[in-house]
Structure 1
Amino acid sequence: MKVIEIPAAEAGRLLPLLQDLHALHATHQPERHIPQPGSADLTEWLQDWLKEETVFALAAESPQGALLGYLIYELQDRPALPIRAAETRAMLHHISVTEAWRRMGVGKALVEAMRTRALAAGATVIAATYAPFNTASAALLQGMGMDPVLTMAEWRA
């Protein structure tokens, strides 16, 4: 397995993994997520997102070229405020691993590759959000030394 960067032009390679991730979220939070969005719409959205200078996709690729998992992160420059110092944050937005490869170190390899790249780019904070039902993501992130610092709550009409 090797970790590679996925450019915007190849965003379609992430589609099966994104659809699995989205299905999990749509099942647990149907009021927040559109069930089964179209493949063309998802691909276009991913391509547009990955064209942003500060957004990156990494994927774990098998020797045969199959994607075992992916993550998307963003480097965010946050200026100083009277209540906190300036920081460059690497924000992990998505992570998904093919079911057959879960609990085999793929997610850990992806997060470690992200951390290495983010630190080299000047990041001083590595952050992520995950849904309360996603215990696998919570365990992975905590295993990588990331502890919860905020809880977000919402109400929807």
Structure 2
Amino acid sequence: MEILDLPPSQASRLVPLLQELHALHVEHQPARYPAAPSDAALEQWLQGWLQEDAITALIAESPQGALLGYTIFGIEHRPPLPIRFEETRVMVHHIATAKAFRRMGVGQALLTAVKQRAEAEDVGTIATTYAPFNSASAGLFEGLGLQPVVTMAEWRA
């Protein structure tokens, strides 16, 4: 397995895994997420997002060129506030592994690469959000030392 940067022009490679990840969210929280976005809409959105300077996509690729998983993260600069210290952090926005390759270290390899990028940029904090139903993500992040620090709750009419 090789961890590679994914250029915005190849955003379409992520669409099948993103569709699968999104369907999981729709299944558990249908009032929050629109069902079945088109592949074209997802590709266009991803391509635009990945063109932003602070956003990076990494992929895990097999020796045969198959996409095993991906992560999208960004570097965020947060100014100091009277109630919070200034910080620069890496925010992991997405992580997904192809179903056939789960529990084989793909997600761990991707997040290890994110951590290495953070260290190379002298960024000492990695953050993420994940839904309470997504125990796989929770376990992956906690296994790499990320601990929950905030709980967000919503009410929807």
TM class by smaller structure: over 0.9
The one-letter amino acid of 2:54's match is T
1:100 paired with 2:100, answer yes
SS at match of 1:90: strand
Unaligned regions of 5+ residues in structure 2, if any? none
The residue aligned with 1:41 is: 41
TM-score when normalising by structure 2: 0.97
The one-letter amino acid of 1:13's match is R
The one-letter amino acid of 2:94's match is H
What does 1:3-152 correspond to in 2, within 5 Å? 3-152=3-152
- Give CA-to-partner distance per residue, 1:10-42, whole Å, 9 cap, x none: 100111111110011111111111111001100
How many residues are paired up? 157
- Give CA-to-partner distance per residue, 1:41-100, whole Å, 9 cap, x none: 000000000000001101100001111000100100111122222111100110000111
Distance 2:52 2:30 in 1: 28
The one-letter amino acid of 2:10's match is E
The one-letter amino acid of 1:153's match is A
TM-score when normalising by structure 1: 0.97
Alpha-carbon distance, 1:135 to partner: 0.2
The one-letter amino acid of 2:92's match is L
Runs of 4+ that moved beyond 4 A: none
Percent of matched pairs sharing the same residue: 57
